[in-house]
């Protein structure tokens, strides 16, 4: 299985082609129903993956969810860092446990991983604004962690999956929020780049297409049309250019977050001057993107490696 890539900077448009793009919905239904060789990975499959223990679990706040798992590679360092933000439609039932295999595989490649947990819809304080406060605070806490560990804060990349892809892109652009804005913080962690895996970079469009059902309106505290100010503060497309390189990876058979959300956003981001590349991995769905044994894994690795070495 391969992927089709669109690259460049500032052309103002992006074209991504993959086989069967115009009949994607019907093809997906047929493949999943038949249980054929191209059946996509399910959430149950993802939860069944091993969950290797972290080297340390570190709190960045007092709420039960305000913690992160740190994994360190072998060697003296200083180690580049991948900040991992899990998905799950911003909702409480999905925690960082389902990305433990993903994080361990990245650490085995020589990168430290800082896997953030955060308050989500259904958690006390989750949603607006707690989810965003936690992601920002958890990322910035990496500076404290680096004081007595061999971490290279000049080489930090954020990687997020699904709802976490939205949060990773937001984290990358948070410094563009007005100074004094509560969600910005005093000194946002500087990122070398961001990798969005089946992310939701445009909350208005995501809500219109009912991505994750009604999760986006719930996250914002109301429909996007009624929460325009909040959308402008947390939807990455609203404050382009983000000013950091972005790599967007999607599965051609993703029925949870349509690849079109990423391709459409990429065109807008590149038109604003950002460096953006899109990879649509053929024959995979939503969850393969965080499975280190899937056909999507080489594409994900390449995206992270390019940003950390750039």
235-279 per-position pLDDT tens digit: 999 999 999 999 999 999 999 999 999 999 999 999 999 999 999
Q: What pLDDT, on a 0 to 100 scale, did the predictor assign at position 294?
A: 97
21, pLDDT greater than 90: no
- Give the per-residue pLDDT at 3: 55
Check whether the bond before 24 is cis (ω within 30° of 0).
Answer: no
pLDDT surpasses 80 at 302: yes
Res 102: pLDDT: 98
* DSSP secondary structure letter of residue 207: H
Q: What is the pLDDT averaged over residues 96-104?
A: 98
Query: Average of pLDDT values for 52-65?
Result: 98
Query: pLDDT at position 28, please?
Result: 32
Q: What pLDDT, in 10s, does the model give residues 30-47?
A: 333 333 455 899 999 999
How far, in Å, are 12, 54, 132, 231, 275 from residue 270 at the CA level? 5, 37, 25, 21, 6
The Cα–Cα gap between 17 and 5 comes to: 8
Rounded to whole angstroms, the Cα distance separating 187 from 180 reads: 11
Mean pLDDT, residues 93-97:
96
CATH top-level class of 3-15+43-309: alpha beta
Lowest-confidence pick of 26-35, 62-71, 137-146, 283-292: 26-35
Residue 24 pLDDT: 29
Q: What is the pLDDT of residue 180?
A: 87
Q: What is residue 39's predicted lDDT score, i.e. its pLDDT?
A: 85
Question: Which tokens is 98 given?
Answer: 């389902």
Q: What is the mean pLDDT of residues 94-121?
A: 98
pLDDT for position 225 = 97
Tokens of 167: 């949060």
What is the pLDDT, as a whole number, of residue 15?
A: 31
Predicted confidence (pLDDT) per residue in 185-236, tens digit? 989 999 999 999 999 999 999 999 999 999 999 999 999 999 999 999 999 9
What residues form DSSP beta bridges with 158? 83, 194
pLDDT, mean over the chain: 90
Q: Is the pLDDT of residue 70 over 60?
A: yes
pLDDT at residue number 8: 45
Question: Measured between alpha carbons, how far is 38 from 284 in angstroms, rounded to an integer?
Answer: 8
User: In the chain, what percentage of residues exceed pLDDT 70?
Assistant: 88
Q: Please state, in angstroms and rounded to a whole number, the distance separating the CA atoms of residues 81 and 191.
A: 10
């Amino acid at each position: 299985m391969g992927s089709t890539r669109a690259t460049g900077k500032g052309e103002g448009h992006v074209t991504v082609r993959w086989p069967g793009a115009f009949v994607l919905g019907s093809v997906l239904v047929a493949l999943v129903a038949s249980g054929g060789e191209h059946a996509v990975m399910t959430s149950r499959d993802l939860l069944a993956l091993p969950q290797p223990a972290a080297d340390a679990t570190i709190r960045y706040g007092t709420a039960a969810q305000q913690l992160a798992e740190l994994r360190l590679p072998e060697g003296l360092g200083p180690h580049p860092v991948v900040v991992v933000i899990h998905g799950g439609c911003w909702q409480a039932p999905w925690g960082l446990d389902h990305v433990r295999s993903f994080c361990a595989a990245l650490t085995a490649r020589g990168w430290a991983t800082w896997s953030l947990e955060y308050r989500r819809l259904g958690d006390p304080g989750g949603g607006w604004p707690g989810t965003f406060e936690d992601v920002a605070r958890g990322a910035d806490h990496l500076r404290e962690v680096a004081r007595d560990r061999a971490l290279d804060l000049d080489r930090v990349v954020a990687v997020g999956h699904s709802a976490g892809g939205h949060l990773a892109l937001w984290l990358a652009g948070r410094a563009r929020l007005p100074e004094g804005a509560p969600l910005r913080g005093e000194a946002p962690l500087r990122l070398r780049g961001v990798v969005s895996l089946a992310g939701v970079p445009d909350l208005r469009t995501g809500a219109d297409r009912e991505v994750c059902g009604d999760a986006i309106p719930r996250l914002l505290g109301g429909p996007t049309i009624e929460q325009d100010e909040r959308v402008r503060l947390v939807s990455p497309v609203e404050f382009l250019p983000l000013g950091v390189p972005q790599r967007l990876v999607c599965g051609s058979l993703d029925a949870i977050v349509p690849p079109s959300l990423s391709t459409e956003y990429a065109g807008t981001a590149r038109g604003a001057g950002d460096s953006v590349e899109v990879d649509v991995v053929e024959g995979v769905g939503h969850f393969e993107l965080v499975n280190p044994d899937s056909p999507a894994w080489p594409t994900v690795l390449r995206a992270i490696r390019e940003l950390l070495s750039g």
